[in-house]
Structure 1
Amino acid sequence: MSSEPSLSGPVPDDTRPDSHPELARFAASLSFGLDEFQRAACAALEDGHGVLVCAPTGAGKTVVGEFAVHLALMGGTKCFYTTPIKALSNQKYADLVAVHGVESVGLLTGDSSINADAPIVVMTTEVVRNMIYANSSALNGLSYVVMDEVHYLADRFRGAVWEEVILHLDPAVRLVSLSATVSNAEEFGDWIQAVRGDTTVIVDEHRPVPLWQHMLVGNRMFDLFDGSAPNDGRREVNPALARYIRQREVVDLSGPGRGHRGRSERGGGPPVSRPELIRRLDADGLLPAIDFIFSRAGCDAALAQCRRSGLDLLGPERAAAVDEVVDRFVADLAPDDRDVLGVDDWRTGLRRGFAAHHAGMLPAFRHAVEELFVRGLVQMVFATETLALGINMPARSVVLERLVKYNGEAHVDLTPGEFTQLTGRAGRRGIDIEGHAVVVFAPGMQPAQVAGLAGARTFPLRSSFAPEYNMAVNLIRRVGLNGSRELLDRSFAQFQADKSVVGQSRQIDAVTRKLRKLDVELEELAGRRDIGLGGARAGDATEEGEFAGFLGYMRLRELIRTRERELKFEKRMSLQNSVVEDLFALKRGQVIGLFGGRHRGLAVVLEPASDRRDPKPLVLVDDAWAGRVGVKDFLNPPEVLGNLRLAKTVDRRTGRGRRDLASALRSSGIELPRRKQSRRSAAADDNELVDLRRQLRAHPAHGLPDHDELFRAAERRTRLVREIDALEQSIADRTATLRADFDRIVAILEELGYLVPGPDGPTVAPPGDLLTRIYSESDLLICECLRSGVWDGLQPPELAGVVAAVVYESRRDAFAGPDLAVSVPPLRTALVETHRRWRDLSRLEMRHSLDPTREPDAGFSMSIHLWASGRSLPECLAVAGDRGRPLPAGDFVRWSRQVIDLLEQIRIGAGEGDLARTARRAVSAIRRGVVAVELG
């Protein structure tokens, strides 16, 4: 890697102390010297430029943001320090308070509001976006905005927020963008320069702490790369590692070790036990370490395995220090809640130096683990990948047990970017002279695969910007319709699309040149055969009619092929739509036939599909396999062959339960019919195709030999014309997508009365005022419910329950839908009415060719209703459980926070009235116990 940072944009000519006095003053206050990239970025800031800094994890990018804070304080202005997640905001707030004092620093995260009028305010990025849309007075005097982890704009759920802030901030505000190393940093910097003015782009690929890559095979540690190979920029896999793995595979295939293979491939953990793994790392001096396990259950299982062992990494004296920290973090928890949360078991692991860290834990537990880890009182953390997202918990080494993770829909391979982000935690600056990344070998894992991930330098940053309802009304209120479209044209998404269009335009020019050259060849060939070309020529108009001459004949052939493809596509789409509709309509207990490649036989529906767009009912096949089937499993719409009476609760989790169900299905008397035969092709009944074929047969060129050189040249010409058409269509699609989606959103908002059409473009109507204040994935649905009054008259716990349905999302396939057994009639009625509004809205969205709003999910509604009614934590966790397991406490707190956040938006947006008062009381009712502890 290069040790010198690359810079573009306005670069300071001189970074000497006398030319940058504030940088000299700032540097003197630090306990370490500045790296060259830090010094260059800070000097650019002092010279009045914005900066984009791209550097590896742990390189010290945040120093540049801290210098922006220093400049704001010295200049008597304001600085906002934005982060992507609340935990990182809390951490940065504590860091800045330690340097500048509690009076100078504030915190705004939605959950917390501390000293909001301070000159330095730390906040999540959504908060500053909302300030901009609300024209908040807090923006007065703002001189710097630090956007930490700005590469989050690639996040498909929240990334648009970063672009909105970058585009909307006053031009006088200097932007300090801090990013992980990305391969298209210059492209990103070019965009920021285009929309924000002079910006210095600094890219530094040097890791201050070198990272060594290893593989642990059994109990043997190997370097991943060959250290003896010539250093020519390419790194070869260590031959000793590859040889040892081949030897093991031979033994595994011929001996009892074959059992290990099955366990590992099913994700049951690495062949080496976790205590053995920790002892091996400890013996090599590689602790403290983070072991990334891509499931919460896996993290908890690893921790339990260590607790059962005799492993102790601390000793009595340091265990006492652990107790002090634990006591502080659990002090506000009620005794009963401590029992429910398993405080004693959690403490047992911590006192011996190991812990788990994942989103299912109570946030207080996670924060305690983070503090203990930083203080060296936890030596091994089993974590999900969320730990890699900005939290300051570096380790000496990082362990990866698998190279596959579940992304919410399927098990997918880690990307090079994810691998880099995870292993980037290894190596503590100022503590370790080197970091270590250890991949635990499992059967089937290839060293070349690991080397490919470890050797990838960076990953590209792609925009996820897309217009939404709240964005649309806020944009139109601020800058009008034309201004909104212009702003969309300035987005990074459009910038990237336009940049790719340049390349495609060059392709069109190149293909067009080939086409003209081929036309000359065709002229010569046709002249020798005494055949007129006629038809449409490259760049020429024809006076002989579209199908005259030889090229007209070739045009007819191409139209026939195109029409045949269209008919096949229409038939396939018609069948697919029928499959979608029929799959979604399947009811519990109905029996269908499966004829797919994976499974064949009778199948009974155990759970209906929940998503109309991609219906996947849960079925059990007569061979005892149970799982979800989708459109890809059916060539024809599923036919209901009969019904099987099912018990209220069926056992599909155990082998015995599945076998009993399969036996009942086979004994039901329902028979599997033969696979349906497709009916005759639609081409035979298509008048357009019949007419084209008639013209082809009657054409004078129809009798020419098909193998003639002229035909071959004409076919090449057809392919070139087709290529040009495809490129032109791609350009049109790329350049129009954002505007087209925005116009569809505007059309829906006009149809529903949130915008009022006018000669100069739409204006925001009174209902649109409410929409400008609702920031949610389901913003328009929420406003429709508020406008129609379906949430009026509810008691605070009932309002909390129905609000939960539009924020909560069940994990995996546990979707509850609107028909959850809710025992409170007013809440159940409100949920049904909310679902009815969603159904109407989704039909409208599909009519306008937009993706429907996510369906409300009542899976958390009863739990939050009970909590807001004063019921106990165990009862609330049990009610919200998934697959018979209670909801993790961390999830309960996280969803409670989101319910509170939306209730606060409703309280503000609804003005003075009964609903606003109910929302306020609901928030107060939820802010108790573990929720109050976390919110402070």
Structure 2
Amino acid sequence: MANLGSSPSCVEVVQAIEEHLPALYFTFGRAKTELLAEELGREWDFLTAGEKRRVNELIIGAEEKNPGLFGPRRANLRLLLQQGIAYHHAGLAPALKDLVERLYEQRLIYVLFCTETFAVGVNFPAASTVFDTCRKWDGREFRSLLNREFFQMAGRAGRRGYDAVGRVYIRMDQKYIEQTGFYSEKQVEPVYGRLMISPNTVLSLIYWKTDEEINRYLEQNLSNYQKRREERQLRQELAVVEQKLAGIGQHFCQEIYTPACQLLRLKLKKELQSLSRSRKRRRPGSKERREEIRHILKARQRDCNYRLCVEASQQQTVLQDKRSRLSRRLRALERHARDYEVEFNRVWDLLEALDYVDGRQLLPRGLFALHLHVQEILVTELVFNGIIRDQDPAFVAAVLAGVDYIPGRDETTAPCAYDLSPVAALVEELRQMGVPEHFRVWSPLPAALAAAWCEGASFENLLAVTSLQEGDVFSLLRRTIDLLRQIERAAGQDVVLRRQMESIRRALDRDEVAVLGI
């Protein structure tokens, strides 16, 4: 595609692959998917009159089930769909994503601009896939795509029964060729397991399992299995390397690295040449070392085919480097072999210090947290410290919406009318008590949205006071509803608390938020 210029536009790219549509056009940013879709929409209209009628029928049907489906923010998407163009990302409301997916399945979308989430968990093949770039922001830095990331998306190219081959295109910027990845299926990175030791993990194991079962659970998880397998592979590789080193050692005579040895003499000659350079001649000790080397080189030289020794020495150096790398990795694995056991005991000690457990006995706080699966300590303390118990429903919704919420860089919402300082004070108190940061994650940012929704505001009202997109607001409210359901279960025989949480959950679980699909 170099003939398209140094940096072809998406319009030029689509024109070049016109015979190989539909295409999934991957880009790494929500705003970029919308920008490129609008750019293409100004130049292209893929649909026939009959296809347009079918698209309009599906749009009207979707709007009847979901009034205000597009709203002012997505009016552009409505127009693009009627041209056979769309965008898809996590910021869209679920009903909108479902509509886009249905149109794509019915071959009414010819170019779909999407983020990588479209390639995960849904099976929507295309004739072609296009990469707007091979670099992405991973939350810390811009980096090239991993092999597995690339092939996860590229693998969507090729529809069984329609395409003899799947085609993959990369929009290359001639100014930054080195930023375009060149990928190999043989180098796809392995996926490693990671067991997360949360308070719920510890409480559940203590409550339901014996010591023997707990030890087996910690030792036989996927991550440890992969580590043990890697240890076996490393030891096998080390054994092969040691065997090769031993074989190479047989090539050397007893005079190796003595003054008569050509290997030593070659090395000394290089050193002498280096020390004879003007910038090193005056260094302290340089003159004495040169004289020492000349004296050694005056010794009798062994008459042998030293080139074989040179080749063997080079191989020996390579193998020794490999042995060092393998040994370092093996030592690292051995150091971390019992990490999960250490982490398990650390969390257990923390729960004892916080009066959640006494040995293997779960105390009231522990029995409550046993039924929670997100920020167990923080949520339990919100209840037991009376911060959300018997409080105004909108206030409770505001507090719980911020649990486990990490704001994005540019996210904004209107200020919350409620005083949330008691929650911030609790988070600080937990910090002083030694609770790790990842066990006390809370943000006030979404509070106003959850409070307004609980008080009956419309979804449009929420979008008017926040920079969050529809899908983000929807996800936020659904997560809050799920947390309320967890607290209901944890309440057990506490009928008052259970009914309080149920009432708030029902107030949130309405209208667009209650609709999971079209």
The TM tier, using the shorter chain, reads 0.7 to 0.9
Change beyond 3 A, Cα 1:278–1:821:
same
Which of the residues 292, 317, 341 maps onto 2:26?
Answer: 292
Query: How far apart, CA to CA, are the structure 2 residues paired with 1:933 and 1:428?
Result: 31
Does the 8 Å contact 2:144/2:180 carry over to 1? no
Does the 8 Å contact 1:470/1:775 carry over to 2? yes
Query: How far apart, CA to CA, are the structure 1 residues paired with 2:441 and 2:71?
Result: 36
For 2:191, the aligned partner's letter is L
Query: How far apart, CA to CA, are the structure 2 residues paired with 1:726 and 1:349?
Result: 56
1:319 to 2:52 alignment:
yes
Q: Which residue number corresponds to residue 66 of structure 2?
A: 333
For 1:869, the aligned partner's letter is E
Change beyond 3 A, Cα 1:892–1:725:
closer
Which of the residues 477, 482, 487 maps onto 1:906?
Answer: 487
Map of 1:155-174 to 2, 5 A cutoff? none
Which of the residues 388, 392, 395 maps onto 1:791?
Answer: 388
Query: How far apart, CA to CA, are the structure 2 residues paired with 1:728 and 1:279?
Result: 52
Change beyond 3 A, Cα 1:356–1:728:
closer
1:279 to 2:64 alignment:
no
Query: How far apart, CA to CA, are the structure 2 residues paired with 1:508 and 1:341?
Result: 60
Map of 1:447-458 to 2, 5 A cutoff? 450=181, 452-454=182-184, 456=186, 458=188
Q: Secondary structure at the match of 2:86?
A: strand
Measured after TM superposition, the shift of residue 277 of structure 1 is 2.5
Q: Which residue number corresponds to residue 403 of structure 2?
A: 806
Does the 8 Å contact 1:802/1:830 carry over to 2? no
Map of 1:520-599 to 2, 5 A cutoff? none
1:835 to 2:433 alignment:
no
Query: How far apart, CA to CA, are the structure 2 residues paired with 1:508 and 1:315?
Result: 65
Change beyond 3 A, Cα 1:502–1:821:
same
1:375 to 2:111 alignment:
no
For 1:490, the aligned partner's letter is Q
Query: How far apart, CA to CA, are the structure 1 residues paired with 2:341 and 2:148?
Result: 30
Query: How far apart, CA to CA, are the structure 1 residues paired with 2:346 and 2:105?
Result: 50
Query: How far apart, CA to CA, are the structure 1 residues paired with 2:27 and 2:129?
Result: 11
Measured after TM superposition, the shift of residue 830 of structure 1 is 4.2
Q: Which residue number corresponds to residue 351 of structure 2?
A: 749
Q: Which residue number corresponds to residue 915 of structure 1?
A: 497
Q: Secondary structure at the match of 2:109?
A: coil
Query: How far apart, CA to CA, are the structure 1 residues paired with 2:89 and 2:41?
Result: 18
Which of the residues 747, 760, 773 maps onto 2:371?
Answer: 773
Query: How far apart, CA to CA, are the structure 1 residues paired with 2:432 and 2:499?
Result: 28
Q: Which residue number corresponds to residue 170 of structure 1?
A: none
Query: How far apart, CA to CA, are the structure 2 residues paired with 1:411 and 1:448?
Result: 10
Task: Output one character per residue of 1:276-307: Cα deviation in whole Å (capped at 9) or x when no partner.
Answer: 3223222xx21000000100000011122123
Which of the residues 24, 30, 35 maps onto 1:301?
Answer: 35
Does the 8 Å contact 1:859/1:880 carry over to 2? no
Q: Which residue number corresponds to residue 735 of structure 1?
A: 337
1:880 to 2:466 alignment:
yes
Query: How far apart, CA to CA, are the structure 2 residues paired with 1:457 and 1:510?
Result: 22
1:423 to 2:154 alignment:
yes
The alignment-based identity, stated in percent, is 24
Measured after TM superposition, the shift of residue 426 of structure 1 is 0.5
Measured after TM superposition, the shift of residue 723 of structure 1 is 10
| Structure with the largest fraction of strand | 1
Q: Secondary structure at the match of 1:438?
A: strand
For 1:783, the aligned partner's letter is T
Task: Output one character per residue of 1:524-563: Cα deviation in whole Å (capped at 9) or x when no partner.
Answer: xxxxxxxxxxxxxxxxxxxxxxxxxxxxxxxxxxxxxxxx
Give me the CA root mean square deviation: 3.5
Task: Output one character per residue of 1:858-893: Cα deviation in whole Å (capped at 9) or x when no partner.
Answer: 111111111111123333224332xxxxx1111111
- By relative contact order (CA 8 Å, sep 6+), the higher-ranking structure is 2
Query: How far apart, CA to CA, are the structure 1 residues paired with 2:227 and 2:106?
Result: 47
Query: How far apart, CA to CA, are the structure 1 residues paired with 2:326 and 2:55?
Result: 68
Map of 1:175-574 to 2, 5 A cutoff? 216-219=1-4, 271-282=7-18, 285-309=19-43, 311-335=44-68, 338-342=70-74, 344-446=75-177, 450=181, 452-454=182-184, 456=186, 458-502=188-232
Does the 8 Å contact 1:299/1:384 carry over to 2? yes
Does the 8 Å contact 2:484/2:502 carry over to 1? yes
Does the 8 Å contact 1:340/1:874 carry over to 2? no
For 1:904, the aligned partner's letter is R
Change beyond 3 A, Cα 1:726–1:888:
closer
Give the gaps of 5 or more residues in structure 2: 245-292, 297-320
Task: Output one character per residue of 1:368-412: Cα deviation in whole Å (capped at 9) or x when no partner.
Answer: 111111111111100000000021211000000100011122211
Query: How far apart, CA to CA, are the structure 2 residues paired with 1:329 and 1:898?
Result: 25
Does the 8 Å contact 1:904/1:920 carry over to 2? yes
Query: How far apart, CA to CA, are the structure 2 residues paired with 1:725 and 1:435?
Result: 43
For 2:356, the aligned partner's letter is Y
Q: For this pair of structures, how many residues does the alignment match?
A: 448
Q: Which residue number corresponds to residue 317 of structure 2?
A: none
Q: Which residue number corresponds to residue 646 of structure 1?
A: none
Change beyond 3 A, Cα 1:837–1:871:
farther
Measured after TM superposition, the shift of residue 733 of structure 1 is 1.6
Change beyond 3 A, Cα 1:428–1:727:
closer
Measured after TM superposition, the shift of residue 319 of structure 1 is 0.7
Does the 8 Å contact 2:400/2:480 carry over to 1? yes
Q: Secondary structure at the match of 2:20?
A: coil
Query: How far apart, CA to CA, are the structure 2 residues paired with 1:756 and 1:457?
Result: 49
Does the 8 Å contact 1:753/1:765 carry over to 2? yes
1:859 to 2:453 alignment:
no
Change beyond 3 A, Cα 1:302–1:509:
closer
Measured after TM superposition, the shift of residue 750 of structure 1 is 1.8
Query: How far apart, CA to CA, are the structure 2 residues paired with 1:440 and 1:773?
Result: 49
Change beyond 3 A, Cα 1:512–1:740:
farther
Q: Secondary structure at the match of 2:167?
A: strand
Query: How far apart, CA to CA, are the structure 2 residues paired with 1:504 and 1:755?
Result: 41
Q: Which residue number corresponds to residue 782 of structure 1?
A: 379
Measured after TM superposition, the shift of residue 796 of structure 1 is 1.5
Query: How far apart, CA to CA, are the structure 2 residues paired with 1:836 and 1:892?
Result: 27
Query: How far apart, CA to CA, are the structure 1 residues paired with 2:166 and 2:192?
Result: 29
Change beyond 3 A, Cα 1:483–1:802:
same
Does the 8 Å contact 2:25/2:112 carry over to 1? yes
Query: How far apart, CA to CA, are the structure 1 residues paired with 2:41 and 2:235?
Result: 63
Give the gaps of 5 or more residues in structure 1: 1-215, 220-247, 249-259, 261-270, 515-706, 710-718, 846-850, 882-886
Map of 1:658-673 to 2, 5 A cutoff? none
Measured after TM superposition, the shift of residue 813 of structure 1 is 6.2
Change beyond 3 A, Cα 1:745–1:935:
farther
Measured after TM superposition, the shift of residue 475 of structure 1 is 1.8
